[in-house]
Structures are given as C-alpha cells and as structure tokens.
Amino acid sequence: MNTETTPIEAVHTDVEYTKLHGEPVLRVVKKDKLMEFDENTYAKLAESSFHNGTIEVKMLSRLLPDAPDFARGFIGIAFRINDTDTKFESFYVRPTNGRIEDPVRKNRGVQYFSYPKYTFDYFRNLGITDFEGPADIGLDEWISLKAVINGAQGEFYLNNSEEPVLVVENMKHGADTRGKIGLFVDIGTEAFFKDLKVTTAD
C-alpha cells in the first residue's frame, strides 16, 4: 500500500493519510455505528479483488480519549467484501487483552468473525470458542499481521511467528467468495496501518 496514492473508500469510518513517528500511515476511526460491534466499519481498498492468497499489514491501535470501558483497541482486516458491504470475513485483535492477568480476557486476544451473522457475540452466546485465542500484543505498538487464505480456511499469524495464533477451517461464507480488502476498526479505537502487501493466488 502506497500511503499516498492507494484509492481508499471510507465505509462508516473517517480515513486520512497522515504521519506517525515520521512515517506515512493510514489513520482509520469509526464514524458511524459507534457503539455497535463487528460491523462493516473499515477503510476499503477500492480497486482490490481478493479470493485466495496472503494479506500482510502492520497495524497499531490506541484508545480514543472518549473510548468506553469495554474498548479493547480493536484493529484488523476485512476481506472478500462484497460490492454492497453486506458480506465479508474479518480477523482482528484486542491489544488490551494481550498481556492482562484475567485468563478469560487473555484468551480473547484475537478474533475471527463473518458479517453479518457470525459475530463474536453470536459465537460466545453459543459457547463456541474456536474463533478466538490469546496473543502477546499491546496498545501503541506495531503488530505485524499475516493472513493466509485458501478456500474456506484462514490462517492468521502475528509478529512473524512461525505458528498461527488462529486457524479457521470453515470460514462462514465458504470457499468461493471473492471481494475487496478492508482495514478494520471497531469501538473506541484510533487505528493506524502501513506496509500493506497483498499476494493473490488466483
């Protein structure tokens, strides 16, 4: 991602190219749906088309001054976004949970969800724990994300680890969907992205 020329469409977000620590970055903050979780709130790469391949990006999150107590610094990616922004897959992290002592929150450091139906709340209400897990991450630090997508499977890696932090064998929209890529943000978060690299396999 060239942080000055990549065409971006803001979907329920405010998006701007700026600098952080002297580096060019993309800043993304929710504009709408401010208190709703797991929604279509992202900066979408207007010219992207993705089915299978690899998405890599570096991301950093901070809590906004008015962030509610339950804000976690939510930041991540959306992919295979359809043309009407009504269906997509997503993976995001909760940096405030990364190093906390509370074992329940610590196991919720990363999250997969599938919009619109299969949100984190849906999984938790049914006692399904397959789509979240722990990660050694924190606020205000660059987190490297690598997503390897093949059919209905997604493998998600953080900070150049050889082992994935989460493997999803049955992404909910199935193996054949294709769509755009987005840089995802959720409640109470100021999100920054840089060094986006997308490698398509088909």
- Indicate which CATH number applies to the domain containing 85: 2.60.120.560
Q: Is residue 63 part of a domain?
A: yes
For the chain, what is the domain count?
1
Q: Is residue 3 part of a domain?
A: no
Q: How many residues does the chain have?
A: 202
Q: Is residue 77 part of a domain?
A: yes
DSSP letters, 86-131, are S-EEEEEE-GGGTT-S-HHHHTTSEEEEEETTB-HHHHHHTT--TT
Question: What is the overall mean pLDDT for the chain?
Answer: 96
Q: Is residue 1 part of a domain?
A: no
Whose tokens are 């059919």? That residue is 151
What is residue 6's predicted lDDT score, i.e. its pLDDT? 78
With 80 as the cut, is the pLDDT of residue 26 above it? yes
What is the separation, in whole angstroms, between the first and last Cα of the chain?
Answer: 20
- Among 64, 78, 60, smallest CA distance to 18 is for 60
Kindly report, residue by residue over 113-142, the tens digit of the pLDDT: 999 999 999 999 999 999 999 999 999 999
Mean pLDDT of 152-162: 97
Mean pLDDT of 7-29: 96
With 80 as the cut, is the pLDDT of residue 5 above it? no
- Give yes or no for a contact between 24 and 4, defined as CB atoms under 8 angstroms apart: yes
Give the residue numbers spanning the domain of 144: 8-200
Mean pLDDT of 192-201: 97
- Give yes or no for a contact between 79 and 171, defined as CB atoms under 8 angstroms apart: no
Q: Is residue 165 part of a domain?
A: yes
With 90 as the cut, is the pLDDT of residue 143 above it? yes
Q: Is residue 2 part of a domain?
A: no
With 60 as the cut, is the pLDDT of residue 3 above it? no
Confidence of residue 2 (pLDDT cuts 50, 70, 90): low
Q: Which two tokens stand for residue 121?
A: 């709340």
Q: Is residue 193 part of a domain?
A: yes
Mean pLDDT of 149-178: 98
Kindly report, residue by residue over 59-94, the tens digit of the pLDDT: 999 999 999 999 999 999 999 999 999 999 999 999
Q: Which two tokens stand for residue 171?
A: 């992404």
What is residue 202's predicted lDDT score, i.e. its pLDDT? 93
Element (H, E) at 106: helix 103-106
Mean pLDDT of 9-34: 97
- Residue percentage of the chain with pLDDT more than 90: 97
What is the SS3 assignment for 46? coil
With 70 as the cut, is the pLDDT of residue 1 above it? no
**Residue 190 CB-half CA count within 13 A:** 13
